[in-house]
Structure 1
Amino acid sequence: MNAIQETNFQFPGQTAFYRGKVRDVYSFPEKLIMVASDRISAFDVVLPRPIPFKGQVLNQTASYFLKATADIVPNWLLNVPDPNVSIGLKCEPYAVEMVVRGYLAGHAWRQYRDGHRTLCGVALPDGLRENDRLPTPIITPSTKAHEGHDEDISRDEILRQGIVSEPEYDQLERYALALFARGTAMAAERGLILVDTKYEFGNLNDKVYLIDEVHTPDSSRYFYADTYEGNQEAGQPQKQLSKEFVREWLIENGFQGKTGQTIPTMSDEWVNQISTRYIELFETVTGQDFQPADSTDPSARIETAILRALQD
C-alpha cells in the first residue's frame, strides 16, 4: 500500500499552497482544495510515518458529518471528487478553535489531575474522575496555531484581545453547542458517546461557515456506550475510538512533543494497527462499509480527479 506522505501539485489558476499537519491545501480565488494526506500528528508534531488510508477515513468521515449538520450551520464543502479530496468555499478562518467537552478526558483530564480546577476560564467541580461526564458540555477554546502547539484560551481573553468580536463569538458558541448536540445524538445511534471534539469556523461575506473537518477521529474522541458505566464504576480505562491511543503510546515511550524528546520508532505492525483502528472508527461512526481507494498510484489518482473537477 502506497500511503500519501505529501502532494506537490500545481494546478491552473492556483494562487497559493499551504501544508498543514495533515492536509495539503491548494488555494484558488474563491475555492480551496484540501487533500487529506496519510500523515498523522500528535502533540502538534507530525509523526515520521504515514498511516495507510488514514486520509481517506478523515475526508470521508468529515464529508459525512458536514452533510449531516448542514441544517445547523452552513459549511464550506462543495464537492468530494476523490476519497482523499474535498473542494469548498474559501473562507477567512477565525483564529480560534471551539473545543466542546462533555466528559473529563484527554487534555482536560491531565490538567485536572495536575490540580487545575479552571480550564479556559471554565470552573470545574472537585471530585471528578477521569472520563466522568461533566454536569453540562463546556467550551474550552484554543488559539489556532499554524506551527507548534495550539494554546488554551478563555472567552474573556479572546474578547479582550479582539481575536473575535463578542457577537461573532456568541454565535460560534451557539453553533458549536448545537453541533455537539447533533454529534452526540448521531453517536448514540451507533452505540457511541461523543466525548469531546473541536470545531473550526470561517467567515465569507459576513456569514459564518463551518470549515475543515467535523467529528472525525483526529478532531473527536468517542467512547463505546455499552461498556461506559461498568468501566467507570470499576475504575477501568474506557474503550474508545479516537486518536488518543496514539498519544498514549507516545507518552508510554517518553514523547509528549516537548523540546529534547525523540519520537519513538513506529514499526510496520504499529502503523498497520493504527490504520485498522482508523478504518474501524469510520465504519462504526458512519455505519458504512469502508471501501479502500486504489493505492497503486494515489498521487496520480488524486491529481486526475482534481483536474477533472476544476474543468466542471
Structure 2
Amino acid sequence: MSLANRVLAVNDDLPIRSDAPVHSGKVRSVYWLTAADSARLIAERGYDVAADAPLAIMVISDRISAFDCIWHGEGGMNGVPGKGAALNAISNHWFALFKEHGLADSHILEIPHPLVWIVQKAKPVMIEAIARQYITGSMWRAYAKGERDFCGIALPDALQRDQKLPELLITPSTKGILEGIPGVPAVDDVNITRADIEANYQAFNFNTAADVDHYEVLLKQGFEVISNELAKLDQIFVDTKFEFGYVRDAQGEQKLIYMDEVGTPDSSRIWDGEAYRRGEIVENSKEGFRQMLLQHFPDPDVLLNKDRMAERQALAANNALPAEVLMAVSNTYVSIAERITASSLTISDNPRAEIIDVLANDFGLID
C-alpha cells in the first residue's frame, strides 16, 4: 500500500452516528454522540462520569499544520505517516503518568484505536496555558528587539538565545476571541497576565478564583513530570502548551482536568540533550518542521508576518513539499514517541477502515 494511503488526512467524514455537526480543527475532529449512545456507553463501559454526560469520539488525523496553515507533500501525501498515532501515544503516556502522580484526570475515557479517543464533554478554560523553561522562538525574537515584559513578568537583561530561564515562566494567552475583558483585545491568541485572569476569572470560564491557583499548580506539576521523564531520555522539555477544562464525575461533582493533548511534538519543543551540551539545537518536535519551512521558501517573512496571511495560505495550498521532508517529520514523531513510551508504534495500513470496524463492532456507533 502506498504511503499516501497510510495517511489519515480527512477525518471529518467518518460514518459515526451523531446528531450534531462534526467539529474539525487543524488536526482533530470531534463527533458528538447522541444522548442515547452516550448514556448506553456510560452504562456499558462503566465510565466514571455523570449518567447524562455528553460523550464524543475524537479522531486525530495525520495532517500537519505550521504557521496556521495545513501543508501537503508530493504524490498525494496530505499528511505525515504515523504522526497521529505518535501524538495520541505520547499524550496517553503522559496522562497516565499524571494520574499515577495524583495530579488530575483528563477528558479521555477510553482509547479504542491508536487514532481515536472517547472523551466526555468538558467546559473549557479559555486560556492557552503556556509554560517556558528556555528563552527561544517568539519569546527570544521579542526579547532580542528589546522587550522585557512578558505576560506581566519582567525578564532580566543579558539573557542569551536558547538559554535556560531563571525559573519556569507561565505566559498564558487567550483561547478564542473573548470580548468585554478590560485591557484584553478581543482577538484570538493574545497574551494576558495573571492579573488579567484573576480580575476576570469568570470570563475565562474558571468556576472560582481559587481555581486560578489550581490551574497553575497543575500546569507546573504536569511540566515537572514530563520534564523529569524526558531528562531520563536525555531530552530537554523546552516549552509547552496545556489546556484545561471542567467535567462532572459520576457523583455530579465538577473537577478541573487536563484536556486536548499534552507534552507532544505538536504542542511542545523538545531538544536533544547531548546536542544542546555541544551548543547545538536538535529539535525533536514540530519546531524542526517550522525551521525547515523558513529555509525552504525564499521569503520567510510570508510565514512570520500575520499581515501576509493570504499569501501564506496560497503558499501552503500551491506548494507540495518533497516526500522526503514529510518522511523526515514522520521519523521525528515516531522516534520520539517510541522513546517516550518504550514501545514500538504501529502505523496502520488502512486507518480509516480500522476505525470504522472497531467503532461498529465494539461500540455500535456506525449506522
Q: Report the Cα distance in structure 1 between the residues aligned to 2:341 and 2:158, rounded to whole angstroms.
A: 35
Q: Report the Cα distance in structure 1 between the residues aligned to 2:257 and 2:67, rounded to whole angstroms.
A: 27
Q: Give 1:145 shift.
A: 3.3
Q: Please give the TM-score of this superposition, normalised by the length of structure 1.
A: 0.90
Q: Give 1:302 shift.
A: 1.2
Q: Give 1:149 shift.
A: 5.8
Unaligned runs of 5+ in 1: 232-236
Q: Report the Cα distance in structure 1 between the residues aligned to 2:79 and 2:338, rounded to whole angstroms.
A: 21
Q: Give 1:221 shift.
A: 1.1
Q: Report the Cα distance in structure 1 between the residues aligned to 2:339 and 2:283, rounded to whole angstroms.
A: 11
Aligned to 1:82: 113
Q: Give 1:243 shift.
A: 0.6
Aligned to 1:4: 8
Unaligned runs of 5+ in 2: 36-53, 73-77, 178-186, 249-253
In 2, are the aligned partners of 1:37 and 1:55 still within 8 Å (CA)? yes
Q: Please give the TM-score of this superposition, normalised by the length of structure 2.
A: 0.77
Which stretch of the first structure deviates more once superposed, 86-95 or 106-115?
106-115
Corresponding pairs, count: 304
Q: Report the Cα distance in structure 2 between the residues aligned to 1:45 and 1:139, rounded to whole angstroms.
A: 26
State the AA in 2 paired with 1:305: V
Which ranges of 4 or more aligned residues in structure 1 deviate by more than 4 Å? none
Q: Which digits, 9 at most, give the CA deviation of each residue in 1:22-62, with x for residues without a partner?
A: 00111135212111101111122222331111111111111
The answer to whether the aligner puts 1:278 opposite 2:326 as a matched pair is: no
Match among 287, 291, 294 for residue 248 of structure 1: 291
- State the SS of the aligned residue for 1:81: strand
In 2, are the aligned partners of 1:120 and 1:152 still within 8 Å (CA)? yes
The answer to whether the aligner puts 1:300 opposite 2:343 as a matched pair is: no
In 2, are the aligned partners of 1:142 and 1:153 still within 8 Å (CA)? yes
- State the SS of the aligned residue for 1:9: coil
Aligned to 2:92: 63
In 2, are the aligned partners of 1:31 and 1:90 still within 8 Å (CA)? yes
The answer to whether the aligner puts 1:25 opposite 2:64 as a matched pair is: no
Aligned to 2:322: 267
Match among 270, 277, 301 for residue 222 of structure 1: 270
Match among 211, 215, 231 for residue 168 of structure 1: 211
- State the SS of the aligned residue for 1:75: coil
In 2, are the aligned partners of 1:44 and 1:257 still within 8 Å (CA)? no
The answer to whether the aligner puts 1:157 opposite 2:157 as a matched pair is: no
**Closer, same or farther in 2 for the Cα pair 1:227/1:271, shift >3 Å?**
closer
Aligned to 1:310: 363
The answer to whether the aligner puts 1:181 opposite 2:181 as a matched pair is: no
State the AA in 1 paired with 2:10: E
- State the SS of the aligned residue for 2:31: strand
Q: Report the Cα distance in structure 2 between the residues aligned to 1:285 and 1:152, rounded to whole angstroms.
A: 31
RMSD over aligned CA atoms reads 2.0
Match among 116, 121, 130 for residue 99 of structure 1: 130
Match among 56, 59, 64 for residue 40 of structure 1: 64
Q: Which digits, 9 at most, give the CA deviation of each residue in 1:212-268, with x for residues without a partner?
A: 11111101111122232331xxxxx31221111111122222223632332354111
In 1, are the aligned partners of 2:85 and 2:345 still within 8 Å (CA)? no
Match among 134, 139, 143 for residue 170 of structure 2: 139
- State the SS of the aligned residue for 2:363: helix
Q: Give 1:4 shift.
A: 1.1
Aligned to 1:51: 80
**Closer, same or farther in 2 for the Cα pair 1:229/1:89, shift >3 Å?**
same
State the AA in 2 paired with 1:25: V
**Closer, same or farther in 2 for the Cα pair 1:42/1:173, shift >3 Å?**
same
Q: Give 1:72 shift.
A: 0.9
Q: Report the Cα distance in structure 1 between the residues aligned to 2:112 and 2:19, rounded to whole angstroms.
A: 17
In 2, are the aligned partners of 1:42 and 1:247 still within 8 Å (CA)? yes
Q: Report the Cα distance in structure 2 between the residues aligned to 1:46 and 1:52, rounded to whole angstroms.
A: 15
In 2, are the aligned partners of 1:17 and 1:24 still within 8 Å (CA)? yes
In 1, are the aligned partners of 2:15 and 2:356 still within 8 Å (CA)? no
Q: Percent identity?
A: 31
- State the SS of the aligned residue for 2:290: helix
Q: Report the Cα distance in structure 2 between the residues aligned to 1:287 and 1:191, rounded to whole angstroms.
A: 14
Q: Give 1:13 shift.
A: 4.5
Aligned to 2:238: 195
Q: Which digits, 9 at most, give the CA deviation of each residue in 1:182-202, with x for residues without a partner?
A: 111111111111111111111
State the AA in 2 paired with 1:17: V
Aligned to 2:46: none
- State the SS of the aligned residue for 1:278: helix
Aligned to 1:234: none
